[in-house]
Amino acid sequence: MTRAGSPETWLITGGAGFIGSNFVLAARERGAARVVNLDLLTYAGNLKNLAALADDPDHLFVRGDIADRELVGRLLQEHQPRAVVHFAAESHVDRSIYGPQAFLETNVMGTFHLLEAVRRYWDGLPPPRQQDFRFLHISTDEVYGSLAPEDPAFAETTPYAPNSPYAASKAASDHLVRACRHTYGLPTLITNCSNNHGPFQFPEKLIPLMILNALKGKPLPIYGDGLNVRDWLYVTDHCEALRLVLAQGRVGETYNIGGNCEKTNLEVVGTLCAILDELFPDSPHRPHARLITFIKDRPGHDRRYAIDAGKISRELGWQPRESFESGLSKTVRWYVDHPEWVASVESGEYREWLELHYGRG
Ligand code: NAD
Ligand code: DAU
């Protein structure tokens, strides 16, 4: 499946998580680069996501922390990457409300230490390689805060107004990357993307949680009135946008990425229930939408996100390939077809999280 002898090397952080693993798999499938994959394997990281690369000589997995400057420095010197693609983060808003410290440690300090190690490496490169080098920082639309119903979508010029500890930590990391470009000249790029779904997403997030609960006939817990709006994007479309930004993005720029696909949470869950009804006509849980249960709202819950992806479309010609319905059908099918992967993540830690957050159900 993979091609050997890739022309360049990328150091990818967080490549055992949801988006990172999708990005690594696609990069190796295309033979786009040799990959050095640095991931701490927190609860969200899973080597099973990378099983297809077990025999790939051009994928090197290293378990380690982005905050470990010595390790990162060694990997950079040894492998001489042309790019660093930075996915590693604590990524779940609800967890950031219970325990913000880990978010500051990884997203802020981790990014800071990573940047310091990368800057040192980059400083030592000869000028042509300095010019070619890229640091691509993967961020989120949540840094822009919350929109009212009639507000225009987030543009790259929208002022930052992060509302959760997660969003604040990501905003801080964006600022550190920006400052590193401005002060030291490191060739950085930042992307701010909307909500992703697809294979390998840890089932603490809305879509996989709802699919797995619905399959078991468990309640589908909707926060508040279910009318909060998110913009949804299938993960492979995000990864394709990232490859384009890495290859052709203008250094120092930010690119917003989104599916032009605003949905209320009730619409999302209603659609995935309808997909399950069709897939399992004999299920005793049919109609699955009957399982929807309204629960206490998330504190500080942002009401609406929407992305204006005009810049990446105009400059780089990117458009999502999947519609909401086609992408969601693929996501549902993937979880249905991968019970072993699901069993592997439904560990003690996951059950503890469900109990802490949703109570016994
Ligand atoms: P995820 O939680 O699934 O994966 C994060 C990965 O980072 C895990 O493999 C974890 O082990 C690793 N990691 C955590 N701390 C680390 C550390 N200190 N050192 C090395 N590795 C560490 O996250 P995701 O959903 O794949 O998100 C990836 C990135 O994309 C994040 O930066 C997130 O903010 C951003 N993002 C996510 C979405 C989304 O919808 N999921 C949307 C926009 C942006
Ligand atoms: O917008 C991009 C962001 O999307 C990423 O930066 C984050 O890493 C990612 O986790 C995601 O954040 P959200 O908070 O939007 O995603 P989550 O899946 O947690 O929730 C989506 C919506 O569904 C949100 O309005 C909260 C709601 N929700 C979520 C859960 C887990 C529920 O109603 N019930 C739930 O049980």
Ligand 2 contacts CB of residue 230 (under 6 A)? yes
Q: Which residue has the higher pLDDT, 168 or 361?
A: 168
* pLDDT value of residue 267: 98
Q: For residue 60, what pLDDT band results from cuts at 50, 70 and 90? A: very high
For the stretch 126-182, pLDDT in tens is: 999 999 999 999 999 999 999 999 999 999 999 999 999 999 999 999 999 999 999
The residue assigned the tokens 């992307």 is 191
Between the CA of 206 and the centroid of ligand 2 the distance, in Å, is: 6
Which of 142, 204, 262, 302 is labelled catalytic? 142
Q: What's the rounded Cα separation, in Å, for the pair 251 and 187?
A: 6
- Which of the ligands is closest to the CA of residue 295? 2
Q: Residue 2: is its pLDDT beyond 50? A: no
- Which of the ligands is closest to the CA of residue 20? 1
Choice from 87, 93, 115, 193 to test ligand 1 binding pocket (greatest atom count within 8 A of CB): 87
Q: Give me the mean pLDDT over the 290-314 stretch.
A: 98
Q: What's the rounded Cα separation, in Å, for the pair 131 and 251?
A: 10
Q: Give me the mean pLDDT over the 60-78 stretch.
A: 98
